[in-house]
Amino acid sequence: MKLTDLSTIRMLQKKYGFHSKKKFGQNFLMDEQVVAQTIQGAGIDQDDVVVEIGPGMGTMTRALAESAKAVLAVEIDEKLRRLLAETVPFENVQILFQDVMKTDLDQVVKEKFGVESYKVVANLPYYITTPIIMKLLEEQKNIQSITVMTQKEVANRMQAHPGTKDYGALSVAVRFYAEAKVLVNVGRNSFYPAPKVESAVIGLTIRNRPPVEVLDDAMFFQVLKGAFQQRRKTLLNSLSHNLGFIGKEELRDLLQELDIEPNRRGETLGIEEFSALSNRLYHIKIGIDKQ
C-alpha cells in the first residue's frame, strides 16, 4: 500500500468515510523523500523505541515500523481507528487513541515496552505545536530526541539566536533543554490537503543538563515570559510590569549590576544573561518570602 499516492489516500477516505479535520490540524504527509529524510535525521535504528505523535493515515508509521524496534503511535482522532488497522498491520506497532497533551509518555512506554529511553517523531498539528513541544521538554524525562515536522516559522524560532527577528521565549526555552537544528525544509505540496504555510523538520537533541546553571526553573521561565511578552518594551519596563515582588528602581539597579542595560529589549539577551538575572531575582524573592 502506497500512502504517498493521492489516489490511495482518496480511496481510503471514501472507504472509511474519513475527511481531514481542521480542528485537529490534519495535513497528511505524502512525500516519500521527506519521510526518509525525517527518519534518517532522527537517527532511528533497530534498537530504538519511537513514539509517533499524530500518525494520521500511517505514512510515517509504516516507515518507522521498518526502521525501529517498536513504535507507539498516539492519535487523538478515534475515527482513524479502522483505517489505521488496515494501513499499519505491523506487530511492532501499537496505536494509542488518546490526546498526547493528557498522556504521560514516559509511563506508557515503560508499561508497553519495558524500556525507559525513547525517541519522538511527529508531524505536529501546527495550531498546537508549541504546547506539545514544551510539554515534551518539561514533563517527559526519558526522551532522547524529538524530530518534528512543524511550521517553518516555528522551526526557525526554535533554533534562532539573540538579536534575530525569530528569536523569542521559545528559542531560549528550547535551548535550555535541547540542541536544535532544522534538518529539512518542506514545501506545501508535500501534504494533502496542502497547508497555507511552508514547513520544516527540526531535530531536538535532549541535553543531559542545561547549558547554564539555573537555581529555580519557575523563576527562569517567569523572567523569560516577562521579557518577551511585550517585545517593543524595554527589558526594564517589561519585567517591572510582570514581576510583582520587585520595584522598578530596584530592578534597574539589579540590571546595571549585571551589566545589562535596562533599555535593552528581551530579544537581545542570551541564555546566560537570562540565567544570571533569574538567579539574582530568585535570591531576592526568597529573601522577601522569609520576611
Instruction: Cis check for the bond before 210: say yes or no (omega within 30 of 0).
Output: no
Phi-psi region of 68 (alpha: psi -120 to 50; beta: other; left: phi over 0): beta
pLDDT score for 28: 81
Give the separation between CA 222 and CA 24, rounded to whole angstroms. 30
Number of domains observed in the structure of the chain = 2
Are 80 and 61 found together in one domain? Answer: yes
pLDDT of 70 over the 70 cut: yes
Residues 179 and 264 in one domain: no
Asked whether residue 211 is assigned to any structural domain, the reply reads no
Q: What is the pLDDT of residues 203-250, one digit of tens each?
A: 999 999 999 999 999 999 999 999 998 878 899 999 998 888 899 999
For the record, the C-alpha cell of 128 comes out as: 498546537
Quick one: pLDDT band at residue 1, thresholds 50, 70, 90?
A: confident
118 part of a folded domain:
yes
Whether the predicted pLDDT of 29 surpasses 90: no
- pLDDT of the residue at 4: 84
Element (H, E) at 114: none
Helix (H) / strand (E) element for 264: namely none
Q: Assess whether 148 and 285 both reside in one domain.
A: no
Instruction: Give the CATH number, domain containing residue 145.
Output: 3.40.50.150
Confidence of residue 255 (pLDDT cuts 50, 70, 90): very high
Q: What is the DSSP letter of 49?
A: E
Q: Indicate whether 10 belongs to any domain.
A: yes
Q: Which three cell numbers stand for residue 96?
A: 494509542
Look at residue 175 and tell me whether its pLDDT is greater than 70: yes
pLDDT at 25 over 70: no
Together in a domain, 184 and 118: yes
Grid coordinates belonging to 110 = 515503560
Is residue 46 one of the residues assigned to a domain?
A: yes
Give the position of cell 539574582. 280
Residue finishing a domain among 145, 171, 206: 206
Tell which of 141, 175, 206 closes a domain. 206
Bigger pLDDT: 1 or 144?
144
Note whether residue 212 is domain-resident.
no
Residues 261, 238: Cα–Cα separation, whole Å: 13
CA 111, chain centre distance (Å): 24
Last residue of a domain, one of 206, 237, 270: 206
pLDDT at 141: 95
**What is the CATH classification number for the domain harbouring 249?**
1.10.8.100
* Residues 202 and 222 occupy one common structural domain: no
The one-letter amino acid at 130: T
- What SS3 class is residue 47? coil
Tell which residue, 103, 102, 100, 75, has the closest CA to residue 87: 75
Say what the pLDDT of residue 21 is: 62
| 4 in Cβ contact with 35 (< 8 Å) | yes
| In the block, residue with C-alpha cell 517498536 | 70
Q: Are residues 74 and 105 in the same domain?
A: yes
For 62-85, what is the mean pLDDT?
A: 96
**∠36-203-178 over CA atoms, to 5°?**
160
State whether the Cα torsion 179-185-191-197 is positive or negative.
positive
Are residues 135 and 25 part of one domain? Answer: yes
Three-state DSSP class for 216?
coil
282 inside domain: yes
Task: State yes or no: pLDDT of 19 exceeds 70.
Answer: yes
> 158 and 72 in one domain?
yes
List the domain range (segments joined by +) for residue 96: 6-206
Residues 198/185, Cβ–Cβ less than 8 Å: yes
pLDDT higher than 90, residue 290 = no
Residues 28 and 140 in one domain: yes
Average pLDDT over residues 188-200: 90
Same domain, 85 and 201: yes
156 and 25 housed in the same domain: yes
- DSSP class per residue in 110-141: HHHHS-S-EEEEEE--GGGHHHHHHHHHHH-T
Does pLDDT of 259 surpass 90?
yes
43 and 187 in a single domain? The answer is yes
* 81: DSSP letter: H
Choose among 171, 175, 172: nearest CA to 153.
Answer: 171
On whether the CB atoms of residues 35 and 63 are closer than 8 A, the answer is yes
Instruction: Tell me whether residue 14 is in a domain.
Output: yes
1 part of a folded domain: no
pLDDT tens digits for 98-151? 999 999 999 999 999 999 999 999 998 888 999 999 999 999 999 999 999 999
**Residues 56-75: what's their mean pLDDT?**
96
